[in-house]
Amino acid sequence: MGKLSGKVGLITGAASGMGKASAELWASEGAKMAIVDVQDEKGEEVVNGIKSRGGEAMFVHTDVTKVAEIEKMINTTVEKYGRLDFFWHNAGNAGPGLVERTSEEEYDFTLSLHIKAGFFGAKFAIEEMKKIGGGAILFTSSLAGLKASRSSTVYSICKSSLVMMTKCLALHYGQYNIRTNCICPGAVNTPLWPSFMGRDSDKNDAKAVEDAYIAKTPLHRFGQPEDIAKASLFLVSDEASYVNGAILTVDGGISCS
Ligand SMILES: NC(=O)c1ccc[n+]([C@@H]2O[C@H](COP(=O)([O-])OP(=O)(O)OC[C@H]3O[C@@H](n4cnc5c(N)ncnc54)[C@H](O)[C@@H]3O)[C@@H](O)[C@H]2O)c1
């Protein structure tokens, strides 16, 4: 028996990076998984990998900036697997850089991707979780959601909103046995990481930024997608049955400085 046997999980942004590693880990613990992303080929690869190891998964193509698609993704999951126990809004981008270089389109898109998708994903997930007597919601914030940044104001606005969304949902939906928690990763070695460069014109050298980050991190290494996956497994599993409204940094301790 896996830790998530009999459960159904949905992760947005699960074709890549920390979402992919987490979907694979949850599936290995017995959860049936909805792999949500806009990258069809990579999403199908994740599904095939899970199935080849004896797990169960399906790919649900969804652009999470569109509320109608979010509703459909939840319905598709429940139609196929009969229930929804875990919803994790993890999809994201690095967002635009300095304020004076940010267009209205970039601003609207980034807020939709991070905040609106999390809000409406939770809305439709909560309806399903109430029907089965509970569930767990997760959001991916960032250290940028906890600490001000010089070069990524829009991203920081989004990620701090997810921290507050976590607390608001935890406060109200705990009574329905729906726990809401949030992970704040530090720098993690995923395909997204290089796109955090260049938002601030004097910080384009990825290697230099990476070396400086590792030097400042108490554990002296970069985060790996698997580090986030293990934290997410804990937060949705029964081992975290009294954890609600937690903002969990998974960052090697860099936020302590
Ligand atoms: N990598 C880091 O250092 C880091 C640090 C802190 C927080 N984060 C956050 O972690 C989350 C996961 O990022 P990652 O590093 O694993 O990146 P990633 O690029 O590997 O994965 C993100 C996934 O989101 C998907 N996605 C993007 N837009 C989408 C949309 N409109 N609809 C559906 N899916 C969409 C992408 O296709 C991609 O597969 C993001 O929210 C990111 O902001 C990353």
> Is residue 128 in some structural domain?
yes
pLDDT digits (tens, 9 = 90+) for 83-122: 999 999 999 999 999 999 999 999 999 999 999 999 999 9
Reported as a single tens digit per residue, the pLDDT across 44-88 is 999 999 999 999 999 999 999 999 999 999 999 999 999 999 999
Q: Is the CB of 43 under 6 A from ligand 1?
A: no
How many angstroms separate the CA atoms of 145 and 36, rounded?
Answer: 23
187-236 pLDDT, tens digit each: 999 999 988 886 765 566 778 888 889 999 999 999 999 999 999 999 99
Residues involved in catalysis: 155
- 1 alpha carbon to ligand 1 midpoint, in Å? 30
**151 pLDDT higher than 90:** no
Provide the number of structural domains found in the chain. Answer: 1
CATH number at residue 247: 3.40.50.720
Query: Which domain does 100 fall in, by range?
Result: 8-190+224-251
State residue 210's pLDDT score.
86
Percentage of the chain exceeding pLDDT 70: 98
The pLDDT assigned to 71 comes to 98
Q: Is 162 in the pocket of ligand 1 (CB under 6 A)?
A: no
Ligand 1 pocket test, candidate residues 159, 190, 217, most atoms within 8 A of CB: 190
Q: 200 with 188: CB under 8 angstroms?
A: no
Residue 205 lies in a domain: no
List the strands of the sheet with 8-12, edge to edge.
56-61, 32-37, 8-12, 86-89, 135-140, 178-185, 247-250
Q: Is pLDDT of 40 > 70?
A: yes
Residue 200 lies in a domain: no
Residue 149 falls within a domain, yes or no? yes
Task: Flag whether pLDDT at 137 surpasses 70.
Answer: yes
252 phi and psi angles, rounded to 5 deg: 65, 5
Predicted pLDDT at 204: 66
Domain annotation covers residue 135? yes
* Residue 45 maps to a domain: yes
pTM of the prediction? 0.97
For ligand 1, whether the C-beta of 214 sits within 6 Å is no
Taken in order 188, 233, 254, 98, the sign of the CA dihedral is positive
Supply the residue whose CA is at minimum distance from atom 38 of ligand 1. Answer: 13
